[in-house]
Every structure is written in structure tokens, then in C-alpha cells.
Amino acid sequence: MAATPSSGKPRINLEAASILLIESNQQGMDILSQIFAGFGARSPQRASGADEAMDLIRRIEFDLILCSAELGEIDGYDFVANLRRSKLEPNCYAPVIIVTGHTQLSKVKKARDCGANFVVSKPLTPKIILERVIFVAKESRPFIECETYLGPDRRFHSVGPPPGMEGRRSDDLPLEVGEAQTPNMSQDEIDALLQPQRIAK
């Protein structure tokens, strides 16, 4: 999976990428397959459930995994958490995007806490999927491993969108730092901020 610039806009080449699509609903699988076919992906692997997906993960190295949150016997969040803890390298570190029809805050937090890189809400559009794939291809968040979590560092909300992409939040910051808008503080002003302050009684 390689991101390539073209005409100043981010583009991605998925022709050589190994992709796993996990979706229990046939219509949902058809939509995902058509989207990735449009991106040039050649015959992504398909799984309709967690067991079938894990069988493929044991045999094939994947560059990207898209997983539905609604899988039936085990939900996508638990599947991703199990994958991260599976020690099946390198796939346990593969980028994972969860696709869901439920975007309430509790589900978004569950996706974050299970170790997924992103969660995307249905209905899916090629534009949104491509933006998330490009983001995953360019991101360099380290993996964090502790007793309660294994996955990409969750602290990235203030970084802003990748260069050349529009952010969805009104307060997304650009990566480029512009000129100062106000005069710099003097050393005396900085020193005064660092001095212990007496509290009036």
C-alpha cells in the first residue's frame, strides 16, 4: 500500500496491496468489494465471520483490514481486540478500519479502545473510505502495549488531517506553522509566569 502524489492531491495505489474485507452481510460485502475494485485492488480476500477471517490471517500477510462492527457471533470490536493480542505477526499490527452503522459515542470509544485505527460510519462512500485509507497509509502512530490496551497510540486528535486533506472538525489545525500573530513574550514575562505565586488569604 503506497501513497503517491499526483497533481498536488493525495492518491493511493492499491493494486499490489493485500486487503482483507470482513463483512457478514452480503450486500455490505458487495459494496466494500466494489469500492476497492474502483481503487485498483486486485481480488481482496473476503471473510463473512471472525473464524474465517482468523484462518486467512494465519495464512496470508495483509496490508489493510476492513472489518464490520456487526459480525454476528462476535462483534468487530472484540475481533480487533483479539487480533491485536493474537501475536500473529505481522497481521496483529496491520491497520484496521472498522465499518459500522452505529456511531453513538459509546461505539466510537469502543472502536478506539479495541485497537482499531479508524471507525467509518455507513452508508459508505468511496471518498470517505479513500481518505481513511490514505490517512492510515501516511500515519506513523506508534503501537502501545499495556495490560488494558494494545493498538496504535490513541492520542492523535490534535494533529489535524494529513497534508492536502480537509479536516472534518472546525478546530482542526493545519500541520504548517504560520507567522506569529502577536508579539513574542519578553524573557521577563516568561520568567514571571514561572515564578511561584503567593495566594492571598
C-alpha grid cell for residue 161?
488531517
Distances in Å between the alpha carbon of 154 and those of 32, 129, 142? 26, 20, 9
Q: Output the domain CATH number for residue 130.
A: 3.40.50.2300
How many domains does the chain divide into?
A: 1
Partners of residue 21 on adjacent β-strands: 46, 66
- Tell whether 193 is covered by a domain: no
Residues 57-82, mean pLDDT to the nearest whole number = 93
Q: Is residue 145 part of a domain?
A: yes
In the numeric block, the cell 473476503 is attached to: 46
pTM (predicted TM-score): 0.71
Each residue's pLDDT tens digit, 140-166: 778 888 888 888 887 755 555 555 555
Instruction: Report percent pLDDT > 70 for the chain.
Output: 75
Residue 45 inside a domain? The answer is: yes
Q: Which amino acid is at 100?
A: T
Task: Flag whether 26 is in a domain.
Answer: yes
**Does residue 175 lie within any of the structural domains?**
no
Handedness of CA 46, 52, 54, 59 (dihedral sign): negative
